[in-house]
A and B are shown apart, each in its own frame.
Chain A
Amino acid sequence: MNIVYRRPESLKKKTMHYCPGCGHSIIHKLIASVIDELQIREDTIIVSPVGCSVLIYDYFECDGTESAHGRAQAVSTGLKRVQPDKLVICYQGDGDLAAIGTSETIHSANRGENFTVIFVNNAIYGMTGGQMAPTTLIGQKTQTSPFGRDPVLAGYPLKMCELLNQLKAPAYIERVSVHDVKNTIKTQKAIKKGLSYQMNGMGYSFIEVLSMCPTNWGTAPVQAAQWVKEHLASYYPLGVFRDNGASEEYK
């Protein structure tokens, strides 16, 4: 019998706490699959953020640590600088990475720290119950933007890939999505590329993953996926912003 699909070995046999239709569990599985494929489980350390995915270390057969809200990339910097032979995956949500942790994000990227950031953008604060995120769309209703995000009051949704693409140091910046099968497969490829680049010492890789939060969006899972496709992905265009590995210099 030829097994074509199974639970990645790097993922613990444990029921996840995520809500039905949430993208985190999908993204976790993709990361675990890549860790298996690259055979790096025994060299990988996962840094978790504050937010829904704070418990990510409970789901991986890898070493892991938490970080204070917004500080995951400072923690990753410390971890990687003192043991450059290990692989560090820094997993963060939009509030963590693009609001309270913007400084750490920009400066880690600007130093070209050799780790891989997985940035999950679902345009809302999930764990605290649905407040406006830096990435919440204009007009999007949340607990703290009850009449819809008004740019006069709250500014505009922050495009992190575009922002980081202004910097010289990052090796790889791509925005992907997990709202359908095709894009989910692309996401896995992006994660693999990011980790491969880290293994080759190429520096900072940043993979933004558009994701669903049906609970806090007040939608059913299917509609949530549809909303990513129609709204989130139209404001946050999918695609490669930077790929030093594909440039002539690295061939």
Chain B
Amino acid sequence: MGERILMRGNEALCEGAIIAGCKYYFGYPITPQNEIPAYMANRLPEVGGVFLQAESEIASINMIWGAGCAGKRAMTSSSSPGISLMQEGISYLAGAELPAVIVNMVRGGPGLGNIAPAQSDYFQSTRGGGHGDYYVIVLAPATVEELTHMMVDAFDLADIYRTPVIVLGDGVLGQMTEPLVLPEPSTRVIPEKDYILDGAKNRKPRTIKSLRLAPQQALEDHNMELKKKYEEIMKKEVRYEGYMIDDAEIIVVSFGTSSRVCKSSIQMVRENGIKVGMIRPVTLWPFPSEIISDLAKNTGVRAFLDVEMNYGQMIEDVKLSVNGEKEVHFYGRTGGMLPDENELYNKIMEVVNEYCIQET
């Protein structure tokens, strides 16, 4: 076990990436993630890597394409408006099956919005985000340590499944300083990169592309292959945290920063002897539907409360998983506002009062 250190989220994630073997960073400034390029600009030359400030997020994501073609671990980072600009590139990466790691420190939107923490990019992240039939893996950390360790996981997943992976944080996670132990390098077996463009020496020339014109069904065939891959990811890579769910009558569903506030409120509610627990999706795509479905069918569970820092995006996935078995309530703050534990406590108690007979 390594040394316990204190680091800011945006900087700690860079160390996680470097431990994962990332030597290349391409990005463009935007708040609240500016510590990432600043840290990489200092740190990557030390590990024999390259930091390059691109002329735009559009250029950044396409530089990632170039690095991915060469089979190198590379990353970019941005915040909401910048991630919107990258969506064309992410669609291309998904189509061409190139690995990439993209960090999104989400800020309030729509538009220029504000620079405060938000979770309003849930739809964009979990529904592909750009044009065409595809998904990307979305990892949602809740602590600086988890964020740092997740970078190693993100690079592995990107290489194993040859897909873009989005690490979805927010302004709080990026800016917050927390104690952590840095991750160990991965021991996962990464498939040999037999697709990379490093010059056609003693082998046939290779092409990396997303264009599939002929025969007529070429694109459908390819998309069906992608679908198979996505189904495999849904089967193998779902991650979530169950918090006090064993005896819970009310299940809160929340991810990232808002899930931390939920934990505090759940502890407050538990002090009243009321059984509340939480499912915290760690992968937003693939979504942990199975555990939520199971809980919904459990007769001990009376209702769900979805909590997000937006006005209701993940709730659609929660409702699909609950599939009408139980009511799903919602509490959210939007526009870069954070809920506090008292307002969440009140909301949980409101749901409790509706569904639970309290022993007096």
Within 8 A of B (CB), among A33-64: 41-45, 47, 54, 57-58, 60-64
> In the docked arrangement, what's the CA distance between A76 and B56, Å?
15
> In the docked arrangement, what's the CA distance between A45 and B200, Å?
9
Residues of B within 8 A of A66 (CB): 96, 208-211
Which of A67-75, A165-173, A238-246 binds B?
Answer: A67-75
Residues of B within 8 A of A103 (CB): 55-56, 58-59
Does A83 sit within 8 A of B, measured CB to CB? yes
B298 to A: closest C-beta gap in Å: 47
> In the docked arrangement, what's the CA distance between A22 and B26, Å?
37
Whether the Cβ atoms of B197 and A65 lie closer than 8 Å is yes
Whether the Cβ atoms of A68 and B69 lie closer than 8 Å is no
> In the docked arrangement, what's the CA distance between A54 and B70, Å?
20
Residues of B within 8 A of A65 (CB): 65-66, 69, 96, 197, 207-209
Residues of A within 8 A of B54 (CB): 74, 107
> In the docked arrangement, what's the CA distance between A40 and B55, Å?
30
Residue of A nearest to B60 (CB): A74
Does B155 sit within 8 A of A, measured CB to CB? no
Whether the Cβ atoms of B24 and A81 lie closer than 8 Å is yes
With A65-B207, A81-B50, A103-B56: A71-B62 Cβ-Cβ less than 8 Å: yes
Residues of B within 8 A of A44 (CB): 199
Q: Please classify how large the interface on chain A is, using the bins under 10, 10 to 19, 20 to 34, 35 or more.
A: 20 to 34
Residue of A nearest to B68 (CB): A78
Whether the Cβ atoms of A64 and B62 lie closer than 8 Å is no
- Chain A, interface SS category: helix
Whether the Cβ atoms of A83 and B198 lie closer than 8 Å is yes
Whether the Cβ atoms of A75 and B62 lie closer than 8 Å is yes
> In the docked arrangement, what's the CA distance between A75 and B61, Å?
9
Whether the Cβ atoms of A42 and B59 lie closer than 8 Å is no
B40 to A: closest C-beta gap in Å: 13
Whether the Cβ atoms of A107 and B70 lie closer than 8 Å is no
> In the docked arrangement, what's the CA distance between A77 and B205, Å?
21
> In the docked arrangement, what's the CA distance between A42 and B200, Å?
5
Whether the Cβ atoms of A67 and B24 lie closer than 8 Å is no
Whether the Cβ atoms of A78 and B58 lie closer than 8 Å is no
- Contact partner of A77 (CB less than 8 A), chosen from B58, B66, B199, B209, is B66
- Of the candidates B24, B26, B63, B64, the one having the most CB atoms from chain A within 10 angstroms of its own CB is B63
Residue of A nearest to B95 (CB): A66
With A45-B199, A62-B205, A65-B209: A78-B89 Cβ-Cβ less than 8 Å: no
Residues of B within 8 A of A77 (CB): 52, 59, 63, 66
> In the docked arrangement, what's the CA distance between A81 and B23, Å?
11
B299 to A: closest C-beta gap in Å: 52
Does B206 sit within 8 A of A, measured CB to CB? yes
> In the docked arrangement, what's the CA distance between A107 and B63, Å?
13
Residue of A nearest to B65 (CB): A75
Residues of B within 8 A of A81 (CB): 24, 50, 52, 63, 66-67
Residues of B within 8 A of A82 (CB): 23-24, 50, 66-67, 70, 72, 74
Residue of B nearest to A67 (CB): B62
Does B304 sit within 8 A of A, measured CB to CB? no
Cβ contacts A91-128/B at 8 Å (1 or 0 each): 00000000000011011000000000000000000000
Residues of A within 8 A of B210 (CB): 66
> In the docked arrangement, what's the CA distance between A45 and B206, Å?
9
> In the docked arrangement, what's the CA distance between A74 and B198, Å?
17
A82 to B: closest C-beta gap in Å: 4
> In the docked arrangement, what's the CA distance between A104 and B54, Å?
9
Whether the Cβ atoms of A86 and B199 lie closer than 8 Å is yes
Within 8 A of A (CB), among B210-267: 210-211
With A42-B199, A79-B197: A60-B205 Cβ-Cβ less than 8 Å: yes
> In the docked arrangement, what's the CA distance between A64 and B202, Å?
16
Residues of A within 8 A of B58 (CB): 71, 74, 103-104
Does B88 sit within 8 A of A, measured CB to CB? yes
> In the docked arrangement, what's the CA distance between A174 and B55, Å?
25
- Of the candidates B56, B60, B72, B205, the one having the most CB atoms from chain A within 10 angstroms of its own CB is B205
With A76-B66, A77-B66: A62-B200 Cβ-Cβ less than 8 Å: yes
Residues of B within 8 A of A61 (CB): 200, 205
Does A189 sit within 8 A of B, measured CB to CB? no
Residues of A within 8 A of B197 (CB): 45, 63-65, 79
B22 to A: closest C-beta gap in Å: 11
Whether the Cβ atoms of B207 and A78 lie closer than 8 Å is no
B278 to A: closest C-beta gap in Å: 40
Cβ contacts B38-80/A at 8 Å (1 or 0 each): 0000000000001010111011101111111110101000000
Residue of A nearest to B89 (CB): A68
Does A29 sit within 8 A of B, measured CB to CB? no
Residues of B within 8 A of A45 (CB): 69, 197-199
> In the docked arrangement, what's the CA distance between A60 and B59, Å?
26
Whether the Cβ atoms of A107 and B67 lie closer than 8 Å is no
Can you name 6 extra interface pairs (CB under 8 A) apart from A63-B200, A68-B92? A42-B199, A43-B201, A64-B207, A68-B88, A74-B63, A104-B55
In the assembled complex, 14 residue pairs joining A and B whose CB atoms fall closer than 8 Å, in A order, are A42-B199, A57-B207, A65-B66, A65-B69, A65-B96, A74-B59, A74-B66, A75-B65, A77-B52, A82-B23, A103-B58, A103-B59, A107-B54, A107-B59
| Interface residues of B, Cβ cutoff 8 Å to A | 23-24, 26, 50, 52, 54-56, 58-60, 62-70, 72, 74, 88-89, 92, 96, 197-202, 205-211
